[in-house]
Chain A
Amino acid sequence: MEQFAQQFVNGVVLGAMYGLIALGYTMVYGIIQLWNFAHGEIFMVGAFGGLAVWTALPESLAENAFLALPLIFTAAVFTATFTAVLVERVAYRPLRSSPRITALITAIGVSIVLQESVRLFYPDGKRPQSFPGLVAEGNFSIGDVRIPWVSLFIVIVAFFAMLLLQAFVHATKTGKAMRAVSQDPDTARLMGIDVNRIIMVTFAVGAILAALAGVLQGMKFRQIDFHMGFLAGLKAFTAAVLGGIGNITGAVLGGLLLGITEVMATQYIPQGSAWKDVWAFIVLIVVLVFRPTGLLGEDVSVRA
């Protein structure tokens, strides 16, 4: 039983990170129906941006978590947002009226370019880079379940980020405009909404969340590499589909479910760890077969 509870906690932590990334997928998909394949790379670029700033900090500052953490997060968010907005402007915007397959292939190209840029141009980027832990090492216990402080930190940050996102989407004028554009871009334009700006904002918001997830992932595993966005991105997209693509609550729920499933399957199925990365896809296929709309999604059948 303790083992189950322990694994459950691990699953929630993993799921919180998947959820953060999945939000970016789901929002972009909701607005321009594009599977932004490069979003996983935005997550990776964010983590590297944070690490770059931390490396550049003087030692006295770098050791102080209260000063260093905000700096790392700011740098990560800034790098990721800049990259995402640039990508949107340069690669996706010219393709607004192209067939979807064109946009998706472009997104794959962007993903490769970002990965390779980090691999080639980040100092020693070919090898995994160690990432500072910063939050106090050690655990606290609830009964027999031990929870590392980092994990608690991750869940708290993810929770507040998601709360802020809800507030942003529902209580601000820009959020309202986002919802309008997602319903009908042409009419939104007629109502005086700058559709291009809203799309850019959507990419930026997704990038901010991905950057947070990137830094959190680095803090948890103490290591980042240029390849980490690929699998994380795929799983997060799976989480978004699982929750119902285009649905914000669904993305978070899907992320949590996927994280818990992955951890549990790895623990309780014999030889589970060798198949660690398979469960997400199996979940995906099962969901698509039995409930293609995802858990909270609307109708997603083919539409002209």
Chain B
Amino acid sequence: MTPVPPSASHLTSRHKTNWSEMWRSVLRLSGRWRFVLGIAGALFVWTAAFSPWASFAFGYPGKMTLSGFPGGARVYLLPLLLLVSLLFFTLPVGATAGVRAALGLLFIAGYNFIAISWEGDGVDAVAWGAWIALLGSLLLLWAFASFLWEEADGRSLSGQTAGHTAVKLPDPIWQMLLVFGGVPALLICFVYALDVEESSRFVSLICCLGAGSAALSSLGFFNWTSELLARQRTFAVILLLIAALVFPFTQDGNGYWLRVLISVGVFASAAIGLNIVVGLTGLLDLGYIAFFGIGAYVSALLSDADFTTVHVRVPFLLVLLIGATVAGLVGIFVGAPTLRLRGDYLAIVTLGFGEIFRITMNNWNGLTRGPNGIAGISDLEIPSLFGSTPLNFGDAHEVFGVSLPNFANYYFLCIFLFIGMAILFSRLGNSRIGRAWMAIREDEIAASSMGVNPVRFKLLSFALGASMAGAAGTVSAHVTQQVSPDSFTFMESILLLAAVVLGGMGTIPGALLGAGVFYLLPEKLRAFQDVRMLMFGAALIIMMRYRPEGLIPNRRRKAEFREEKSRFSAGFLKGTGELDLMQQNPVQEGGT
């Protein structure tokens, strides 16, 4: 009789039945069956894409009752199916990717299944196509998952090298060509997604894109692309910029998407400012929207609006400066007393400040007209480069024979604002100041022993972030043409924070992506208006659990998050004896 070696799993699962273990042993497949099930699943999904999903027509979009063509949401099964089929040849390395792609198929099938039976009053409305789509994706999931289990059991598999191998890139000329092809392809995807109207199709598209990129990321694809983009950054940025400048010319004088993109631009600019505070310096600011609001109110008061209490009109560039300065000064005023303290205190003080700001604006009838706010803010006017008449942002223009709606003016202004913020951010981030900020974020005591004055640098970061928000706010007041206290609630602060966190702390593309997700998705997901906040809260929790560094992480930041995880009880579970439940005083280590 051989002694049983003690194993870690034996110790941890002493008290409870290990359910996942049980399921695995039931669902385990032998080698041949995996391929049989996998191929069967793929065939089922393929068939489903061309079969009717709804048994009678009741207004479900995409002609889902017809067979023979992949209309509606069904078409989004096909790219994922292609990916899955390719992944079959990369097994066992591609097992994780396969599971993710199969999950995407399952989500598409499941969402439409539920939606059809919901809108068609009962499962009767679901036709056989949707059933076999579900079945097929489950089979695929099963087949790929059984590869993963084998790996978990440690029996075979030498794969899973993704993320650890050095990234190999082609020649520079090929790199440029790839970027040259890739960036427009991405933008075409983006414009295509904007054009998808029905929520069933949009959700399916999101599932398709999300699962596809999750699958690719497990194969190390995004390490590769980020390396590529890092090498060819200038080129990629110029391409993106050209695309952004060309966009208004493709809109046929329609201002709808311009208006949406303007608000994305304004909020992305503010998010960059918040990114200095949260991403670079690691301070949590929960009242950030108040600084934005200060800028907006300054701008509203100094532009001689229809409903105002102050009748002066100051040139816009001056207003921009004044707004930024006032917000920055208030930032110093709020930050100076609290930045000496622990991080959480800053969080609650900024939160309190945000509320104080809102309530003050609500009550100061003499200046801000209270809850009514200041409405009828006039359009911007700046001295024209070409003639003596000033350029009025309210006018539509014709450029190169294409008529541009008046929103295009603000759109271009927002692009300039964003670029300005981005340059400021990246120049600061790569300077001595930026390094000091990051040092404080990573270890304040170590930083201060290296000669960094934490209070001064934190204050600088906080005030700069505040003045950037103020600058963004001055623009925003003109775009929305009115300001009122309701626009500056706590939820708005959280939304901005979430944009920074989701996009990736400490990066510019992250801020843009985060702002884009939070201000574009609600436009597209109107069917989910009611559960929007619920999904948003859940997204925050899930994000923090599985990818705290955000979608497009800063490299250093990512390393930091991952390193903390490996330590046993670093982070916030650290004994400090602060629960003063005892009558005696606990011995404290190294307080100041």
Q: List the one stretch of B133-141, B222-230, B348-356, B402-410 in contact with chain A.
A: B348-356
The chain A residue sitting closest to B533, CB to CB, is A116
Which residues of chain A are within 8 angstroms of B572 by Cβ–Cβ distance? 32-34, 96, 98-100, 103
Q: Provided the pairs A116-B537, A303-B591 are in contact, do residues A105 and B579 lie with their beta carbons within 8 angstroms?
A: no
- The reply to whether A292 and B578 contact each other, CB–CB distance below 8 Å, is no
| A299 and B337 alpha carbons, distance in the complex (Å) | 17
A241 within 8 A of B: yes
B284 within 8 A of A: yes
Which residues of chain B are within 8 angstroms of A181 by Cβ–Cβ distance? 575
Q: How far is the CB of A98 from chain B (nearest CB, A)?
A: 5
Which residues of chain B from 194 to 244 have any CB-CB distance to chain A below 8 Å in the complex?
none
B567 within 8 A of A: yes
B278 within 8 A of A: yes
The chain B residue sitting closest to A91, CB to CB, is B541
- The reply to whether B581 and A304 contact each other, CB–CB distance below 8 Å, is no
- The reply to whether A110 and B537 contact each other, CB–CB distance below 8 Å, is yes
| A234 and B349 alpha carbons, distance in the complex (Å) | 11
Q: How far is the CB of A206 from chain B (nearest CB, A)?
A: 12
- The reply to whether B588 and A298 contact each other, CB–CB distance below 8 Å, is yes
Which residues of chain B from 1 to 51 have any CB-CB distance to chain A below 8 Å in the complex?
none
| A275 and B361 alpha carbons, distance in the complex (Å) | 11
- The reply to whether A288 and B337 contact each other, CB–CB distance below 8 Å, is yes
B573 within 8 A of A: yes
- The reply to whether B540 and A186 contact each other, CB–CB distance below 8 Å, is no
| A74 and B242 alpha carbons, distance in the complex (Å) | 64
| A280 and B353 alpha carbons, distance in the complex (Å) | 11
- The reply to whether A271 and B578 contact each other, CB–CB distance below 8 Å, is no
Which residues of chain A from 94 to 117 have any CB-CB distance to chain B below 8 Å in the complex?
94-106, 108-113, 115-117
| A146 and B497 alpha carbons, distance in the complex (Å) | 47
Chain A interfacial residues counted at CB < 8 A? 79
- The reply to whether B278 and A185 contact each other, CB–CB distance below 8 Å, is no
Which residues of chain A are within 8 angstroms of B589 by Cβ–Cβ distance? 303
- The reply to whether B578 and A281 contact each other, CB–CB distance below 8 Å, is no
Name the contact of B540 in the complex, choosing from A109, A274, A303 (C-beta under 8 A): A109
B413 within 8 A of A: no
A289 within 8 A of B: yes
Name the contact of A120 in the complex, choosing from B284, B363, B530 (C-beta under 8 A): B530
- The reply to whether B575 and A278 contact each other, CB–CB distance below 8 Å, is no
Name the contact of A299 in the complex, choosing from B359, B560, B591 (C-beta under 8 A): B591
- The reply to whether B577 and A101 contact each other, CB–CB distance below 8 Å, is no
Q: How far is the CB of A200 from chain B (nearest CB, A)?
A: 14
- The reply to whether A100 and B581 contact each other, CB–CB distance below 8 Å, is no
Q: Provided the pairs A109-B544, A237-B348 are in contact, do residues A302 and B356 lie with their beta carbons within 8 angstroms?
A: no
Which residues of chain B are within 8 angstroms of A102 by Cβ–Cβ distance? 544, 548, 561
Which residues of chain B from 573 to 592 have any CB-CB distance to chain A below 8 Å in the complex?
573-582, 585-586, 588-592
Q: How far is the CB of B336 from chain A (nearest CB, A)?
A: 9
Name the contact of B278 in the complex, choosing from A35, A101, A241 (C-beta under 8 A): A101
| A278 and B592 alpha carbons, distance in the complex (Å) | 32
Q: What 0/1 readout, one digit per residue, does chain A (221-245) give for beta carbons within 8 Å of chain B?
A: 0000000001000100110010011
Q: Provided the pairs A109-B544, A186-B569, A186-B575 are in contact, do residues A234 and B351 lie with their beta carbons within 8 angstroms?
A: yes
B341 within 8 A of A: yes
B571 within 8 A of A: yes
The chain A residue sitting closest to B443, CB to CB, is A304
Which residues of chain B are within 8 angstroms of A250 by Cβ–Cβ distance? 580
Which residues of chain B are within 8 angstroms of A277 by Cβ–Cβ distance? 355, 359
Which residues of chain B from 446 to 460 have any CB-CB distance to chain A below 8 Å in the complex?
446
Which residues of chain A are within 8 angstroms of B534 by Cβ–Cβ distance? 112-113, 116-117, 120
B526 within 8 A of A: no
Which residues of chain B are within 8 angstroms of A27 by Cβ–Cβ distance? 579
Q: Provided the pairs A29-B578, A106-B545, A187-B575 are in contact, do residues A112 and B533 lie with their beta carbons within 8 angstroms?
A: yes
| A282 and B574 alpha carbons, distance in the complex (Å) | 30
| A96 and B571 alpha carbons, distance in the complex (Å) | 7
Instruction: Say whether chain A's binding surface is mostly helix, strand, loop, or mixed.
Output: helix
A30 within 8 A of B: yes
Q: Provided the pairs A100-B344, A101-B278, A241-B348 are in contact, do residues A288 and B541 lie with their beta carbons within 8 angstroms?
A: no
- The reply to whether B579 and A182 contact each other, CB–CB distance below 8 Å, is yes
- The reply to whether A304 and B444 contact each other, CB–CB distance below 8 Å, is yes
A45 within 8 A of B: no
Which residues of chain B are within 8 angstroms of A98 by Cβ–Cβ distance? 544, 548, 561, 564-565, 571-572
Q: What 0/1 readout, one digit per residue, does chain A (184-223) give for beta carbons within 8 Å of chain B?
A: 1111100000000000000000000000000000000000
Which residues of chain B are within 8 angstroms of A184 by Cβ–Cβ distance? 575, 577
Residue in A169, A250, A281 whose Cβ sees the most chain B Cβ within 10 Å: A281
B556 within 8 A of A: no
A14 within 8 A of B: no
Name the contact of B544 in the complex, choosing from A106, A169, A301, A303 (C-beta under 8 A): A106
- The reply to whether B341 and A301 contact each other, CB–CB distance below 8 Å, is yes
Which residues of chain B from 533 to 549 have any CB-CB distance to chain A below 8 Å in the complex?
533-534, 536-541, 544-545, 548
- The reply to whether A302 and B592 contact each other, CB–CB distance below 8 Å, is yes
Residue in B342, B347, B561, B576 whose Cβ sees the most chain A Cβ within 10 Å: B576
A57 within 8 A of B: no
- The reply to whether B569 and A288 contact each other, CB–CB distance below 8 Å, is no
- The reply to whether B347 and A97 contact each other, CB–CB distance below 8 Å, is no
| A185 and B118 alpha carbons, distance in the complex (Å) | 50
- The reply to whether A113 and B538 contact each other, CB–CB distance below 8 Å, is yes
| A248 and B536 alpha carbons, distance in the complex (Å) | 34
A1 within 8 A of B: no
B345 within 8 A of A: yes
Q: What 0/1 readout, one digit per residue, does chain B (488-506) give for beta carbons within 8 Å of chain A?
A: 0010001001100100000
Q: How far is the CB of A204 from chain B (nearest CB, A)?
A: 16
- The reply to whether A246 and B494 contact each other, CB–CB distance below 8 Å, is no
| A244 and B585 alpha carbons, distance in the complex (Å) | 14
Which residues of chain A are within 8 angstroms of B531 by Cβ–Cβ distance? 116, 120
Q: Provided the pairs A33-B578, A120-B531, A288-B341 are in contact, do residues A109 and B541 lie with their beta carbons within 8 angstroms?
A: yes
Which residues of chain B are within 8 angstroms of A30 by Cβ–Cβ distance? 578-581
Name the contact of A303 in the complex, choosing from B348, B349, B355, B576 (C-beta under 8 A): B576
Which residues of chain A from 51 to 101 have any CB-CB distance to chain B below 8 Å in the complex?
91, 94-101
- The reply to whether B582 and A179 contact each other, CB–CB distance below 8 Å, is yes
Name the contact of A292 in the complex, choosing from B341, B490, B497 (C-beta under 8 A): B341
Which residues of chain A are within 8 angstroms of B544 by Cβ–Cβ distance? 95, 98, 102-103, 105-106, 109
- The reply to whether B355 and A112 contact each other, CB–CB distance below 8 Å, is no
B340 within 8 A of A: yes
- The reply to whether A183 and B577 contact each other, CB–CB distance below 8 Å, is yes
Q: What 0/1 readout, one digit per residue, does chain A (110-136) give for beta carbons within 8 Å of chain B?
A: 111101110010000000000000000
| A278 and B355 alpha carbons, distance in the complex (Å) | 7
B568 within 8 A of A: yes
Which residues of chain A are within 8 angstroms of B345 by Cβ–Cβ distance? 241, 288, 292, 300
Which residues of chain A are within 8 angstroms of B586 by Cβ–Cβ distance? 183, 298
B343 within 8 A of A: yes
A285 within 8 A of B: yes
Q: How far is the CB of B444 from chain A (nearest CB, A)?
A: 6
Which residues of chain B from 347 to 379 have any CB-CB distance to chain A below 8 Å in the complex?
347-349, 351-353, 355-356, 359-360, 362-363
16 CB < 8 A contacts A-B = A35-B344, A96-B571, A97-B571, A98-B571, A99-B572, A102-B548, A105-B498, A108-B497, A116-B537, A179-B582, A234-B348, A247-B579, A285-B353, A288-B338, A300-B345, A302-B444
Given A30-B579, A100-B572, A120-B530, 18 other A-B contacts at CB below 8 A?
A: A26-B579, A96-B569, A100-B343, A108-B497, A109-B540, A112-B533, A178-B581, A182-B577, A184-B575, A247-B580, A248-B581, A277-B355, A298-B580, A298-B586, A301-B341, A302-B444, A303-B589, A304-B446
Closest A-B pairs by Cβ, 10 of them: A30-B579, A182-B579, A109-B540, A112-B537, A281-B352, A184-B575, A246-B578, A116-B534, A113-B537, A109-B541
